[in-house]
Chains A and B, each alone.
With several copies, the nearest count.
Chain A
C-alpha cells in the first residue's frame, strides 16, 4: 500500500512542520516515508506546501499529482487541491480561511475551523496540528497515538512544554472531523 498526503497553505501556517509530524510518526511506525517541501515561485511569503508519501516498501516518486489525501489551510490551496485530489480522496479544509463550500462531490471534504480552535486552545500557531488531527480520521495507517508519540520523541527539549497543547490541538481536530463525518458538520 502507499498513501500520499499534501499539506498546503501560507508561509506562516506551519505547513512544513505539520507534514514532518506525520513523517516522524510514519517512520516510528516502521514505514517507508518521504517528506518534500515545495515553495511557490515566490522566494518568500507566498504559498508553501509539502508532500508526504507513506509506504511499506521503497518509495518511488516523492511527488504526486493527484493525492488521495490533502490539507488546505487557505483558500488558494483549497482551490488548487480540490481540483487535484484523487477521486474518493479526502480533503481537510481550514474553514477559518475559506468562504465557500466544496465544488466536487466525488471527494470527501472535511471543514475544520482550525484558526478558531487553535485560538481557543490559546496558541494560533497550533492551527496546523488541528488540521493534522482532522486528517488522521482518514489515515488509518497512523493513529492519534502514533502522532502524539512522534511529537513526544522528536520535539526538541526546549519545546517539550508545548506538548500538552499540541496534543489537545490534535484531539480537537480529530474530534471536529469525526463529528463532521458523523454528519454534524460545521456548515
Chain B
C-alpha cells in the first residue's frame, strides 16, 4: 500500500502528554510540543515533521482518544479494523 499522506489533530482538551502515540508512531514524526501547556498543564503531542501516513496507530494507542486522523486516499481503513 503506497504511503499515503495523512495528518492528525490532537485535541488538547484530552491530551495528557503521555507519549504513547509518539513511541508508537511508525514514521516517528511525533513529539511533545514543549513550547506550551494544555489547559490541564501538560505538553501536548504533535506531528513535528513530514511523513505522517495517517495510519492511525497513534489514535489506536491513545488512552484518551485525543487524536483525530485523516488521510488522502481512496480506500478507507478503519483505525481498529
Contact = CB atoms under 8 A, between A and B. Distances in A.
Contacts, number: 3
A10 B41 CA distance: 10
Interface residues of B, number: 2
Nearest to B40: A45
A186 to B, nearest CB: 23
Interface residues of A, number: 2
Say whether chain B's binding surface is mostly helix, strand, loop, or mixed. Answer: loop
B43 to A, nearest CB: 14
Interface in B9-43: 40-41
Interface in A15-65: 45
A10 B40 CA distance: 11
A40 B39 CA distance: 17
A45 B39 CA distance: 13
Contacts of B40: 45
Nearest to A45: B40
3 contacts: A10-B41, A45-B40, A45-B41
Interface of B: 40-41
List of 3 A-B pairs having minimum Cβ-Cβ separation, nearest first: A10-B41, A45-B40, A45-B41
